[in-house]
Amino acid sequence: MTKKLYILFEHATGYSLFRVEEYEDIGALMPQVAAASQNPQLFNSLVQFVAFQAFKSAQSTLECTEAAIDGKLSEELKIFLEENLPKKKRRKVVLGVADARIGSAITEEFEVTCSFTDVVPEIIRGIRFHYEKLIEGLAQDTMYSAESSLGRSMSRSKVKFNVNRADNMIIQSIWLLDKLDKDINTFAMRLREWYSFHFPELFKIVNDNLKFAKLAQLIGDRNLIEDFDSLEGEINVIMEDEDKTRAIIQALNTSMGTEIAEVDMENIKSFTEKVIHLSEYRQNLLNYLTSRMNNVAPNLSTLIGETVGARLISRAGSLTNLAKCPASTLQILGAEKALFRALKSRGNTPKFGLIYHSAFIGKASTKDKGKMSRFLANKCSLATRIDCFSDEPSNIFGTKLKEEAEERLRGFTAK
């Protein structure tokens, strides 16, 4: 029984269908087909154009392409094949396709034999090579434009922002938060040393860097202060401690600091503004990170805290990667250097990594820290998997897991 070979060709511009002449003979002449694919006139004698259907829009192009990648039939492809494949004697039809999964889906839908081996790949290669000449009225610019548009759409689709899985935002935020902590500490220490030439007593009275910067900006040149009463009230607002406020006022009257030029004080005040701005931005960033963690990983955040949870996600690379980690890996995540050093020297392996900064590990006694870290890593692994694969974010499981961790900690302390 002679069979007719049709070729389905998918392009960014649309679907096209071709009929291959003398299928039985061509199948036995692979070298000749390969040679014909390089010769337009010879190839046109082997392959005849049947039908073409352009995509309706860029969105339609993307949807049909994604369906093809997943091995599924789009509605447009179903309609195209239904209208253009021979309606009678379909058992005699062989449809050549590029993907075996698409072939299986077409066979199931239309009861048409599909082929993706033998001479079919070579014919598809020839169609791709001569596509512009095979489709009448198709301009080269149109082809390139459609291909570029589809490429951009596919790229956007792959990196499409998902509100509930924005773990990349968490990774960037925690990295920036750690960087800000180092920078703020460096700048604050430089400010303390700089302003202490003029008012050294403030260095010992005020330990908080942000409060020190605000006080340095408020006080400025101590020799120019006229109204100590109003200044005391403003200092008390910053310090929130009357005893330290009185100590600062007393130190202002008896300070052993040197005189300072106006231009120097202007530079100090300018620097204090930078330190205050960075400190305030750090607090805003921390609030943002807390909010994102409660949306992306609410159970992990409830169990171990937003900052530690964010560091675990950052170290793993993503929430999905962290969910794939076994509890034993999560337990020592962040202590890889110590682990490999211990394995190399055949010493004791570390008992904890980043989860050491959890309040549960901090409250446990020295002998129980290892046990608590194993228990906590197990619960964190469960919480992470729930966060990663649940449809709706919720901290119900995290609350329960936290209660179990607190109960285990009380069991350790009761011994």
* pLDDT per residue as tens digits for the range 277-294: 999 999 999 999 999 999
Residue 194, pLDDT > 80, answer: yes
**Tokens for 396?**
């119900």
pLDDT digits (tens, 9 = 90+) for 156-165: 776 654 544 5
Other beta carbons less than 10 A from residue 315's beta carbon: 18
pLDDT, residue 164, reads 47
> By percentage, how much of the chain surpasses pLDDT 90?
33
> Which residues, listed in sequence order, are joined to residue 20 by a DSSP beta bridge?
5, 47
SS3 annotation, the chain? CCCEEEEEEEECCEEEEEEECCHHHHHCCHHHHHHHCCCHHHHHHHEEEEEEEECCCHHHHHHHHHHHHCCCCCHHHHHHHHHHCCCCCHHHEEEECCCHHHHHHHHHHHCCEEECCCCHHHHHHHHHHCHHHHCCCCCHHHHHHHHHHHHHHHHHHHCCCCHHHCHHHHHHHHHHHHHHHHHHHHHHHHHHHHHHCCCCHHHHHCCCHHHHHHHHHHHCCHHHCCCHHHHHHHHHHHHCCHHHHHHHHHHHHHCCCCCCCHHHHHHHHHHHHHHHHHHHHHHHHHHHHHHHHHHHCHHHHHHHCHHHHHHHHHHHCCHHHHHHCCHHHHHCCCCHHHHHHHHHHCCCCCCCCHHHHCHHHHHCCHHHHHHHHHHHHHHHHHHHHHHHHCCCCCCHHHHHHHHHHHHHHHHHHHC
Going by pLDDT thresholds of 50, 70 and 90, the confidence category of residue 307 is very high
Judge whether 308 and 355 are in contact, CB under 8 Å. yes
Q: How far is CA 139 from the centre of its chain?
A: 39
Confidence of residue 123 (pLDDT cuts 50, 70, 90): confident
pLDDT score, position 2: 65
Determine the topology of domain 297-414 in CATH. Answer: Serum Albumin; Chain A, Domain 1 (1.10.246)
Q: Using alpha carbons, select from 8, 11, 184 the residue that is nearest to residue 110.
A: 8
β-sheet with 14-20: strand ranges across: 47-54, 14-20, 4-11, 93-96, 113-115
Q: Are 203 and 304 in contact (CB under 8 A)?
A: no
Return phi, psi of residue 262, to 5°. Answer: -65, -40
Q: Are 197 and 257 in contact (CB under 8 A)?
A: yes
The Cα–Cα gap between 133 and 391 comes to: 49
Residue 333 or residue 285, greater confidence: 285
Contact between 333 and 190 under an 8 Å Cβ cutoff? The reply is: no
Strand partners, 114: 95
Q: Which residues contact 201 (CB under 8 A, 6 or more apart)?
A: 248, 251, 255, 256, 257
CB 294 within 8 A of CB 395: yes
Distance, in Å, from the CA atom of 298 to the CA atom of 258, rounded to the nearest integer, reads 53
pLDDT at 223: 85
Give the tokens for residue 322: 């962290």
**Strand 14-20 to strand 47-54: parallel, antiparallel, or no bridges (unpaired)?**
antiparallel
Portion of the chain with pLDDT greater than 70, in percent: 93
Separation of CA 217 from chain center: 40
**90 contacts 110 by C-beta, under 8 angstroms:** yes
CATH number of the 168-287 domain: 1.10.287.4070
Closest CA to 279 of 170, 194, 200, 191: 191
Q: Is the pLDDT of residue 134 over 90?
A: no
pTM of this structure? 0.63
Distance from C-alpha of 89 to C-alpha of 97, rounded to nearest angstrom: 19
Residue 28 has pLDDT above 60, yes or no: no
Determine the CATH number of domain 4-158. 3.30.420.220
Rounded CA separation 48/22 (Å)? 11
For the chain, the structural domain boundaries read 4-158, 168-287, 297-414
Mean model confidence pLDDT for the chain: 86
Residue 313: phi and psi, rounded to 5, are -65, -45
Single out the residue of 380, 387, 381, 357 nearest to residue 369, CA to CA: 357
